[in-house]
């Protein structure tokens, strides 16, 4: 017979072993595999610089089946996707997409901005503490150090104990650097001029890897210095305006902004190899380099998720030069569609169908050339900054006895001279308010807000909300200016961007590949939702400042 003491010990042993059994049940290998199998081997983020949403629909019937249409038909299309802050520039756009937040938190408030501490203009990716790699030019002195938030690529590196690779690629340095984040294995960008090579920074490496050196020594870049004519018969380009018009800048050395363009002949008067940036061949060059990176870096070749960020910069250069209604823009997107198709085919072959995930979006849109809008009787025009500055200085002299109260005006922001204001025994918020009340009367100004209002009031919608999301307390100016819809500070030929109006905020957002549902939505989505969605797909932590974005559950399977 078992004594009471023996029975007690037997029961105690059973109780003590129960947690171990439970733990064994929780840690079944099959369940671990289920988690890892959900994650793609390679996550590819594609940004098309200055791509308006309507480029998907305007040119849809001329796209092939393997590029944009493949993403739309096999994946998920967010048709009402917007940027949720001002200003809509390239640097903030790329940072916001990958950090899942806005300039208010990630700190990239523009491409260049006035630094209130050093009293000088700084570049979003500039870093004099590092050295150029691959060139003796200063073009490589770049890093992400001014971006204070993590990207989902950073979080993936942390999650995988730094085993997952991150590679950033673009024609523009900021288009490669900011998406790849702080922990990237490498970021590469194109240096034109008389070299025509992809370069990097000592922030990432001591020398270029062999596959990059091989690419730079090949004839690939030179091969694109050829004639740029329309891909198809120009008469079939019915989705864009006439080729000869008064709204396009064109290239130096060519009398009209009309096809064809002899790039080899125009090279010397247009920045050497830099001319390729403003042609569709800049996209082809980017795709070539990204394809070589997949093999050179062995991306997506194991169960640990890698990240490849690719930014196609050329559409922005072309849009600025020729405008959004040009034959050049239509040709650019028809050719980009083919570049995407061949890029996806390489992913199918090298990584495997169903083993990678891609999203495609843009960093901002652009407005129709205002002089064109004027010609069709749509309200539009050009801001006269010189006249406004003169009027403002005269007002300050009369109101405060000094015109030396302004330190800088840039990015539609006024930075006040705090030292002068203090020396005149003035209150900062009084000066802000007085200037706001003055400039709202100027013809070019639509709305004005002060830093005090941004700090003390919470705006939940409208332009005010977008301004607040772009307002960084440490870096932004003291007075924020908003122009009228359709009005820009630019030349009368070509166009630009930066506002909070739909033409600048409404951009594509496409997902396809592993873990992505098939469908579309007209529900409004925001740029800050992209990174949390990707993070959820990768089963990793959200970027550290992604406080406002939410995963788009309907996008995920």
Of the candidates 379, 362, 360, 324, the residue with the CA atom closest to the CA atom of residue 505: 362
Q: Please tell me the distance from the alpha carbon of residue 364 to that of residue 170, in angstroms, as a whole number.
A: 16
Tokens describing residue 540: 């990793």
Bond preceding residue 428 cis, omega within 30 of 0: no
Half-sphere exposure of 114 (CA within 13 A, CB side): 17
Q: Name the CA radius of gyration of the chain, rounded.
A: 26
Farthest-apart Cα atoms in the chain, separation: 110
Q: Please tell me the distance from the alpha carbon of residue 45 to that of residue 420, in angstroms, as a whole number.
A: 47
**Residue keyed to tokens 């018969």:** 233
Helix, strand counts (H, E) of the chain: 22, 22
Q: Please tell me the distance from the alpha carbon of residue 12 to that of residue 15, in angstroms, as a whole number.
A: 5
Q: Please tell me the distance from the alpha carbon of residue 442 to that of residue 440, in angstroms, as a whole number.
A: 6
* Cβ atoms of residues 327 and 259 within 8 Å: yes
Parallel, antiparallel, or unpaired for β 406-410 and 413-416? antiparallel
Indicate which residue of 57, 88, 90, 533 is catalytic. Answer: 90
Q: What DSSP designation does 41 have?
A: S
Tokens describing residue 272: 């050497």
Tokens describing residue 216: 């730079």
**Residue keyed to tokens 């006269």:** 384
Beta bridge partners of 81: 525
Full strand arrangement of the beta sheet holding 413-416: 406-410, 413-416, 479-483, 445-450
Q: Please tell me the distance from the alpha carbon of residue 282 to that of residue 260, in angstroms, as a whole number.
A: 17
Strands (E), 229-326: 261-262, 306-312
Sign of CA dihedral 32, 33, 38, 40: positive
Which helix H or strand E contains 197, and what residues bound it? strand 197-201
Q: Please tell me the distance from the alpha carbon of residue 243 to that of residue 235, in angstroms, as a whole number.
A: 10
Tokens describing residue 493: 């030929």
Residue 357 CA: distances (Å) to CA of 52, 71, 166, 243, 289: 22, 11, 15, 38, 19
Residues with Cβ within 8 Å of residue 251, at least 6 apart in sequence = 257, 261, 266, 269, 270, 275, 278, 321
Whether 90 sits among the annotated catalytic residues: the reply is yes
Which residues are known catalytic residues?
90
């Amino acid at each position: 017979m078992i004594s009471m003491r023996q029975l007690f010990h037997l029961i105690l042993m059973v109780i003590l072993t129960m947690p171990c059994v439970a733990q064994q049940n929780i840690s079944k290998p099959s369940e671990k595999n289920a988690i890892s199998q959900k994650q793609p081997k390679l996550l590819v983020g594609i940004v098309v610089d200055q791509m308006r949403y309507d480029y998907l629909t305007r040119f849809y019937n001329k796209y092939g089946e393997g590029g944009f249409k493949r993403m739309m038909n096999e994946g998920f299309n967010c048709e009402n996707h917007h940027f949720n802050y001002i200003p809509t520039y390239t640097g903030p756009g790329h940072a916001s997409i990958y950090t899942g937040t806005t300039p208010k938190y990630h700190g990239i408030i523009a491409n260049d901005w006035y630094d209130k501490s050093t009293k000088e203009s700084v570049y979003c990716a500039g870093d004099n503490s590092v050295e150029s790699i691959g060139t003796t030019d200063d073009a490589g002195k770049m890093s992400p150090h001014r971006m204070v938030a993590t990207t989902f690529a950073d979080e993936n590196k942390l999650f995988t104990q730094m085993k997952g690779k991150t590679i950033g690629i673009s024609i523009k340095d900021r288009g490669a650097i900011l998406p790849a984040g702080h922990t990237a294995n490498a970021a590469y960008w194109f240096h034109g001029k008389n070299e025509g090579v992809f370069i990097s920074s000592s922030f990432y490496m001591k020398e270029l890897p062999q596959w990059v050196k091989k690419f730079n020594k090949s004839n690939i870049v030179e091969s694109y210095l050829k004639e740029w004519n329309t891909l198809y018969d120009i008469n079939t380009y019915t989705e864009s305006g006439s080729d000869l018009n008064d709204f396009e800048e064109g290239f130096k050395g060519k009398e009209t902004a009309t096809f064809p363009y002899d790039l080899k002949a125009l090279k010397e008067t247009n920045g050497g190899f830099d001319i390729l940036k403003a042609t569709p061949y800049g996209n082809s060059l980017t795709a070539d380099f990204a394809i070589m990176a997949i093999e050179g870096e062995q991306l997506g070749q194991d169960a640990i998720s890698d990240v490849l960020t690719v930014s196609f910069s050329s559409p922005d250069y072309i849009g600025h030069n020729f405008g959004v209604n040009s034959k050049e823009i239509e040709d650019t997107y028809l050719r980009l569609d083919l570049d995407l198709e061949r890029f996806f085919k390489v992913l199918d072959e090298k990584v495997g169908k169903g083993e990678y995930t891609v999203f495609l979006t843009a960093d901002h849109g652009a407005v129709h050339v205002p002089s064109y809008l004027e010609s069709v009787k749509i309200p539009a025009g050009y801001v006269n900054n010189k006249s406004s500055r003169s009027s403002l200085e005269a007002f300050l002299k009369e109101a405060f006895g000094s015109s030396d109260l302004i330190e800088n005006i840039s990015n539609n922001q006024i930075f006040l001279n705090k030292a002068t204001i203090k020396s005149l025994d003035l209150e900062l918020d009084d000066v802000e308010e007085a200037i706001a009340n003055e400039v709202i009367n100027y013809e070019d100004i639509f709305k004005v807000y002060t830093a005090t209002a941004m700090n003390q009031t919470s705006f939940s919608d409208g332009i005010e909300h977008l301004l607040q999301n772009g307002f960084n307390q440490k870096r932004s100016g003291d007075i924020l200016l908003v122009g009228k819809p359709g009005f820009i500070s630019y030349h009368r030929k070509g166009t630009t961007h930066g506002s909070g109006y739909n033409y600048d905020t409404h951009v594509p957002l496409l997902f396809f590949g592993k873990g992505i549902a098939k469908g579309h939505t007209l529900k409004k989505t925001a740029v800050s939702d992209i990174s949390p969605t990707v993070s959820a797909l990768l089963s990793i932590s959200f970027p550290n400042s992604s406080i406002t974005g939410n995963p788009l559950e309907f996008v995920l399977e």
